[in-house]
Each structure stands twice: as structure tokens, then as C-alpha cells.
């Protein structure tokens, strides 16, 4: 039986993050300031941007010398060739490079625009990369915040979606909760046996949290409370959400 309601609590007052900042302590301070005490079952969703900043995953574009390919692409589509060069360096595979859109596979296996390289919410002449190991980042935050509570942590990022407009928050790092809920072999209310239904619950939590975080509100941490996790579900990883190449019909 699942809960009939969940609560999403945004944490206000988190300052601009700098490389080397103690993100655990910053979140602890925000929890106290917002008078929020963590409870068993809480899932803390943290945008990758603050994690990447704290981990120093920032590139000064003034140090980048663009390749000829980056220069040509930048000139053709009015892009900063230095930023294009960073994307090319971060990509292990270019999936599509057309009409000013660059879709790439990251070392993590994620397929997304610009290999996750982002120029929003960072200082001028700087771009932000994805965390090198988002799952390790999630584990570190969970270890530092749990205080004996059974909590989960999701590191999120915003991805576009093929065939649908708009971006949606997804999970790229996970600790303490399953990434997926597998309903295969169970029966629905009509008695139909489910054969392929596997829900990406970590992605759903990331997307739900974004409704409170909001891109413009400087609220990079939110708590999802009241969701009943699958019984016996082991802690998942961001890799659980990456489709195996053998099942990818569009590769």
C-alpha cells in the first residue's frame, strides 16, 4: 500500500556555493534555518550544480583554446567556440550534432545536450561540468546528513526529452533508495499481469522536487517526504537508469 499523499519541502537560504565548500554543513544550516528535521523515509534531492561547484567542477573559458571543429560550429550557429570545445572534450560519443544542437554521451553513460556542460547560474567566462561520480557524491551527502535516519539522496539534473518539448529533472546520482520500482509479475486491479512495467522512481522524485526548486528561485535542495519505497528495495545508482546499449533502438 502506498501513501495517498507526499510532501515536497524546499530549503531556502542556501548561499552561492564555491569550490571547496562543505555542502553537508550548508544543508544542515539550511535545515535548521527552515526548522526542518529529517525523518525516516525522507529523500533529499540536490541539484547537480551545487554539488559540481563544491567539488570544483568548473572550467574557466579563458583557459580554453578551441579546436577547428569547435570554431566552425561556433561560427555557424553563433555559439561560444570555447564552450563548444569543452563539450567536445567531455563527450565520449557525439550522438547528434545538427542545427545548432549538440547531443553527446558523457563518461557516465548519460545522453544529454552539451554533455551536461552548463553556463547557467555560474559566473561569467565559466561553465559547470557534471560531478565526476554523482553516485559517490550522493553517498557522501547521505553519510553526512543521515544522523541515524533512513534517508535517501538524489543528485538531479535537467534533461531534454526526445519527442517531447521542455526539460525535466532526472536523477544522475542516487544513494539510499532504489532507482527503479519493478512491477513485472504483479497484477493490476483488473487482474492483468504486468510484463514490462518498471517505474523510474528516482527520476520521478527529481522531477517532483523541481516544482519546488524552480530554476529562478535559488532553491537547489528539496525534501520529498511521505513516499513509500518498494519493500526490500536495495539502494540504486544513477547507472541503473542508463539504458543498456543492446536495448537502445535508436543507437
Give me the percent of the chain exceeding a pLDDT of 70: 91
Residue 39 has pLDDT above 50, yes or no: yes
C-alpha cell recorded at residue 194? 504486468
Same structural domain for residues 75 and 88? yes
Give a yes or no: residue 248 inside a domain.
no
Q: What is the mean pLDDT of the chain?
A: 91
pLDDT in tens, 134-146: 999 999 999 999 9
Same structural domain for residues 50 and 64? no
Angle at 48 between CA 123 and CA 207, to 5 degrees: 120
Boundary-marking domain end, from 92, 110, 126:
126
Same structural domain for residues 135 and 26? yes
Q: Which residues pair with 40 in a beta bridge?
A: none
| Residue 209: its H or E element | helix 201-213
Q: Which of the 8 DSSP states describes residue 118?
A: B
Residue 201 has pLDDT above 80, yes or no: yes
- The mean pLDDT value for 32-57 works out to 97
CATH code for position 103: 3.90.1660.10
Specify the higher pLDDT residue, 244 or 29: 29
Same structural domain for residues 67 and 49? no
Give a yes or no: residue 198 inside a domain.
yes
* Domain with 156 in it: 7-57+130-242
The total number of structural domains that make up the chain: 2
pLDDT in tens, 110-129: 999 999 999 887 888 999 99
| Residue 236: its H or E element | none
Q: Report residue 2's pLDDT band, with 50, 70 and 90 as the boundaries.
A: low
Same structural domain for residues 223 and 173? yes
Distance CA 241, CA 1 (A): 24
- The mean pLDDT value for 29-46 works out to 96
Boundary-marking domain end, from 98, 126, 154:
126
Q: Helices 134-145 and 23-33 meet at what angle, rounded to 10?
A: 50
Same structural domain for residues 139 and 218? yes
Same structural domain for residues 134 and 181? yes
- Count Cβ atoms below 10 Å from residue 62 Cβ, excluding itself: 8
CATH code for position 217: 3.30.1330.100
Q: What is the per-residue pLDDT for 1?
A: 43
Distance CA 25, CA 85 (A): 35
How close are the terminal C-alpha atoms of the chain, in Å? Answer: 38
Backbone angles phi, psi at 161, to 5 degrees: -130, 130
Same structural domain for residues 182 and 140? yes
pLDDT in tens, 222-238: 999 999 876 656 789 99
Same structural domain for residues 174 and 236? yes
Distance CA 131, CA 49 (A): 8
Poorest-pLDDT segment among 9-18, 119-128, 194-203: 194-203
Q: What is the per-residue pLDDT for 245?
A: 84
Q: Which residues pair with 161 in a beta bridge?
A: 164
- The mean pLDDT value for 54-77 works out to 97
Q: What is the per-residue pLDDT for 183?
A: 67
CA-nearest of 115, 109, 110 to 97 is 115
pLDDT in tens, 145-162: 999 999 999 999 999 988
Residue 11 has pLDDT above 70, yes or no: yes
CA-nearest of 89, 120, 84 to 107 is 89
Amino acid at each position: 500500500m502506498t501513501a495517498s499523499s507526499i510532501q515536497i519541502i524546499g530549503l531556502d537560504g542556501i548561499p552561492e556555493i564555491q569550490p571547496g565548500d562543505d555542502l553537508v554543513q550548508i544543508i544542515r544550516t539550511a535545515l535548521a534555518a527552515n526548522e526542518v528535521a529529517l525523518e525516516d523515509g525522507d529523500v533529499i534531492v540536490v541539484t547537480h550544480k551545487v554539488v559540481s561547484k563544491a567539488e570544483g567542477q568548473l572550467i574557466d573559458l579563458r583557459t580554453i583554446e578551441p579546436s577547428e571543429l569547435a570554431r566552425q560550429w561556433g561560427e555557424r550557429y553563433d555559439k561560444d567556440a570555447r564552450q563548444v570545445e569543452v563539450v567536445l572534450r567531455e563527450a565520449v560519443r557525439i550522438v547528434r550534432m545538427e542545427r545548432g544542437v549538440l547531443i553527446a554521451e558523457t563518461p557516465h553513460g548519460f545522453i544529454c545536450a552539451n554533455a551536461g556542460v552548463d553556463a547557467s547560474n555560474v559566473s561569467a567566462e565559466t561553465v559547470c561540468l557534471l560531478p565526476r561520480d554523482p553516485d559517490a557524491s550522493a553517498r557522501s551527502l547521505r553519510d553526512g546528513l543521515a544522523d541515524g535516519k533512513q534517508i535517501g539522496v538524489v543528485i538531479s539534473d535537467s534533461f531534454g526529452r526526445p519527442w517531447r518539448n521542455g526539460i525535466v529533472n532526472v536523477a544522475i546520482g542516487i544513494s539510499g533508495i532504489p532507482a527503479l520500482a519493478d512491477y513485472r509479475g504483479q497484477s493490476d486491479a483488473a487482474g492483468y499481469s504486468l510484463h514490462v512495467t518498471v517505474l523510474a522512481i528516482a527520476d520521478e522524485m527529481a522531477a517532483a522536487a523541481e516544482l519546488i526548486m524552480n530554476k529562478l528561485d535559488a532553491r537547489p535542495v528539496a525534501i520529498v517526504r511521505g513516499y513509500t519505497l518498494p519493500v526490500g528495495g536495495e539502494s540504486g545508482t544513477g547507472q541503473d537508469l542508463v539504458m543498456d546499449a543492446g536495448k537502445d533502438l535508436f543507437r
